[in-house]
Amino acid sequence: MGLILWVGVFLLLFNFSNALRKIDQPEKVSASEIKTHFLSGKVKGVVFEIETLNVQWEEPANNPPAIKKFIARAAGQGHFNELVALAEKEKIPFDPAPPPNYFWQSLLSNLLWVVLLVVFWIWMMKKQTEQVSGRGGPFGFGQSKAKLIAQKAEKTFADVAGCEEAKEEIKEIVDFLKNPSGFARLGARIPKGVLLYGLPGTGKTLLAKAVAGEAGVPFLSTNGSKFIEMFVGVGASRVRDLFESARKLAPCVVFIDEIDAVGKKRGFAIGGGHDEREQTLDALLEELDGFDKNCGIVVMAATNRPDILDEALVRPGRFDRQIMVPKPELTGREMILKIHARNAVLGPEVNLLEVAKDTAGMVGADLENVVNEAVLIATRKKKDYVEQSDFSEAVDKVSMGPARKSVKLTEKEKQRTAYHEAGHTLAAMLTEGADPVHKVTIIPRGPALGFTKQLPEDRHSITKKELEAMVAVCVAGRAAEEVKFGEITTGHSNDFEKATLLLKKMIYELGMDEETGMAVYKEKADFWGNPTGLDASQKTKELLERAVKTKLAKIYNDVKELLVREVNKLDKLAGQLMEKETLDANEIRAIINSS
């Protein structure tokens, strides 16, 4: 609206200043006509402009304005000189300077432009200040997009589970925020910056919100990537704005998500220039150093890559407190499920501990998703409450994607898929060190035509045997197809990718191969984190690659042998799968024991 108004005013002034010029616009005359005028005896005076070879003169006119002005361009220097001579001869007074009143006119019209610009500029400044008070506009480049999310306690520690150590460590900060000066009195040193690190969805944002909520202070949140914009200097000014707001609101929590977007390790800037990110990082460091540690601002930042952060950022007095937010373990998962199921109507037989067992490897955000899906599934089925089976389906959906009911497999494809999955299942059940199978299905879901779900235990370290068993289970699908049909299909590409990755990890990084030994060979990365290849000699590389291939071939052969030996069980499992489409742990065990 305001913009339209301004465009209007602008156009008006533009026309006006042009009109002003026009009042005094001399009549344009062709070069050949100049002499006729000079010889007419009416010319009152001439102005010669040498640089542009312009000739201007005035003649009396009949009607007002009483003087008529003319202008013409001389046809060349010779013509110009001739005209000067003619004026001299005709005794017409002439002058090389522009007439003063023309000068004033042009000054006046230029002044209009200046006024216009000044007014425009003032208007822009006003817009900017409006933004500080929260109203938007098109020119607010420098404004931090920090949102004031929770003025009042919204989340508390009761909303967070599965990261008890992190919660414990963070409680101290709540005490500080509740009483900053009291804390200072006893000389306690409170970190200015707390870095939360962990996988996405583990609850880092939630923890920061809970800190603000518990302390009853405002929560200012922003994202590191918002600092990095096209315009140089914008990021830095946003950082300053953010802290400016924080100072006004203190005590408060400032939360910067994805801090790695700003805080990546610095390199040697190409061309010696400071790039936008570095300026932003500098501004951030400056702000962190600048504020008094007892002023009641706690800066919390989150990342899932603490290893790529610039050392300057994690130096004492900055983000010197680092707290890991881990993936939740069994009890943690159960508690998180309980938190999110608070408002769900659950059936009497629902056992969230079982759901927790079924969701190994999931983070808080996934678990929240599982509860939501379960409720949706039950609602869609018009049930009065959510049942265990709804949770089970929700877990599959969250981990594998929705079931693809539209996919119609041919009988042949179905058989193949059944043998493929039966292969995974049998290998998992019969290989020492493999995780037991929880469920196997040939209902297509997400990109997979079927899947075998194992139940890993919460482990903190894995043995070589267990890793090899994982690889064996991965390749067993294809092995079963080969055993049964003598040919292989495309359905297993992901299996082999996983198997190869596991083996690479074992051989390259964990020193788990007899021949290549105990050295660690890691991918090198450049400053931006892009891989630049393996940190090893060409000969070693070849050795490593060969080791992976040999090992994979050996494991594959062993699995094939196992499946040939147990082909009865394989047939029976596949047959049952074709019939029932899904088998649970008990059914699987019964089939294997019976044959």
Dihedral of CA 156/158/159/164: which sign?
positive
Q: Shortest distance, CB of residue 509 to ligand ADP, whole angstroms?
A: 26
Q: Is 364 in the site for ligand ADP (CB under 6 A)?
A: yes
Q: Which is nearer to Zn ion, 251 or 477 (CB)?
A: 477
Instruction: Work out the angle between the directed axes of helices 464-485 and 493-504 (0-180°, nearest 10).
Output: 150
Q: Which is nearer to ligand ADP, 161 or 480 (CB)?
A: 161
From the list ligand ADP, Zn ion, none, pick the one residue 218 interacts with, judged by a Cβ distance below 5 to 8 Å according to partner type: none
Contact partners, residue 480, CB within 8 Å, separation at least 6: 419, 420, 422, 423, 424, 426, 563, 570, 574
- Indicate which single residue of 34, 74, 87, 163 sits in contact with ligand ADP (rule: CB under 6 A): 163
Site string for ligand ADP, 490-529 (x = CB under 6 A): ----------------------------------------
Q: Is 450 in the site for Zn ion (CB under 5 A)?
A: no
Q: How many other C-beta atoms lie within 10 A of the C-beta of residue 335?
A: 18
Task: Report the site for ligand ADP in 287-326 (rule: CB under 6 A).
Answer: 302
Q: Is 481 in the site for Zn ion (CB under 5 A)?
A: no
Q: Is 203 in the site for ligand ADP (CB under 6 A)?
A: yes
In this structure, the dihedral spanned by the alpha carbons of residues 543, 519, 465 and 438, taken in order and rounded to 10 degrees, is -90
Residue type, 26: P
Assess contact for 192 and 299: CB atoms under 8 A.
yes
Alpha-carbon distance 402 to 399, whole Å?
Answer: 9
Segment contacting ligand ADP (CB under 6 A): 10-18, 176-184, 202-210, 561-569?
Answer: 202-210
Q: Which is nearer to Zn ion, 388 or 582 (CB)?
A: 582
Q: How many other C-beta atoms lie within 10 A of the C-beta of residue 533?
A: 9
Pick the catalytic residue: 421, 481, 482, 566?
Answer: 421
Contact partners, residue 499, CB within 8 Å, separation at least 6: 471, 474, 475, 552, 555
From the list ligand ADP, Zn ion, none, pick the one residue 495 interacts with, judged by a Cβ distance below 5 to 8 Å according to partner type: Zn ion
Q: Which is nearer to ligand ADP, 371 or 577 (CB)?
A: 371
Q: Is 365 in the site for ligand ADP (CB under 6 A)?
A: yes
Assess contact for 324 and 194: CB atoms under 8 A.
no
Q: Which is nearer to ligand ADP, 46 or 174 (CB)?
A: 174
Q: Is 477 in the site for Zn ion (CB under 5 A)?
A: yes
Q: Which is nearer to Zn ion, 211 or 440 (CB)?
A: 440
Q: Shortest distance, CB of residue 209 to ligand ADP, whole angstroms?
A: 8
Q: Shortest distance, CB of residue 559 to Zn ion, whole angstroms?
A: 12
Alpha-carbon distance 19 to 32, whole Å?
Answer: 29
Number of residues forming the site for Zn ion (CB under 5 A): 2
Q: Which is nearer to ligand ADP, 160 or 440 (CB)?
A: 160
From the list Zn ion, ligand ADP, none, pick the one residue 516 interacts with, judged by a Cβ distance below 5 to 8 Å according to partner type: none
Q: Which is nearer to Zn ion, 57 or 451 (CB)?
A: 451
From the list Zn ion, ligand ADP, none, pick the one residue 477 interacts with, judged by a Cβ distance below 5 to 8 Å according to partner type: Zn ion
Segment contacting Zn ion (CB under 5 A): 109-117, 340-348, 494-502, 574-582?
Answer: 494-502
From the list Zn ion, ligand ADP, none, pick the one residue 310 interacts with, judged by a Cβ distance below 5 to 8 Å according to partner type: none
Contact partners, residue 186, CB within 8 Å, separation at least 6: none
Q: Is 495 in the site for Zn ion (CB under 5 A)?
A: yes
- Indicate which single residue of 167, 204, 333, 453 sits in contact with ligand ADP (rule: CB under 6 A): 204
- Indicate which single residue of 74, 160, 418, 536 sits in contact with ligand ADP (rule: CB under 6 A): 160
CA atoms within a 13 Å half-sphere pointing along the CA-CB vector of 304: 8
Q: Is 441 in the site for ligand ADP (CB under 6 A)?
A: no
Alpha-carbon distance 302 to 170, whole Å?
Answer: 14
Burial 398-415 (b: 16+ CB within 10 A, else e): bbbeeeeeeeebeeebbb
Residue with tokens 């936008």: 276
For 19-70, the DSSP string reads HHHHHTPPEE--GGGHHHHHHTT---EEEEETTTTEEEEEEE-SSSSSEEEE
Q: Which is nearer to Zn ion, 155 or 420 (CB)?
A: 420
Q: Which is nearer to Zn ion, 309 or 480 (CB)?
A: 480
Q: Is 56 in the site for ligand ADP (CB under 6 A)?
A: no
Does the annotation count 421 as an active-site position?
yes
List of E strands, 305-388: 321-324
From the list ligand ADP, Zn ion, none, pick the one residue 365 interacts with, judged by a Cβ distance below 5 to 8 Å according to partner type: ligand ADP
Site string for Zn ion, 67-86 (x = CB under 5 A): --------------------
- Indicate which single residue of 146, 217, 284, 336 sits in contact with ligand ADP (rule: CB under 6 A): 336
Q: What is the largest CA-CA distance in the chain?
A: 131
Number of residues forming the site for ligand ADP (CB under 6 A): 17
Among 263, 219, 209, 217, CA closest to 239: 263
Q: Is 202 in the site for ligand ADP (CB under 6 A)?
A: yes
Residue with tokens 């202008």: 71
| Helical segments of 433-492, H only | 464-485
Residue with tokens 């709540």: 174
Segment contacting ligand ADP (CB under 6 A): 161-169, 268-276, 448-456, 511-519?
Answer: 161-169
Contact partners, residue 545, CB within 8 Å, separation at least 6: none
The token duo for 295 is: 């002023």
What amino acid positions are annotated as catalytic residues? Answer: 421
Q: Which residues of the shown chain bind ligand ADP in the complex (CB under 6 A)?
A: 160-163, 200-206, 302, 336, 339, 364-365, 368
Would you tell me which residues interact with Zn ion (CB under 5 A)? 477, 495
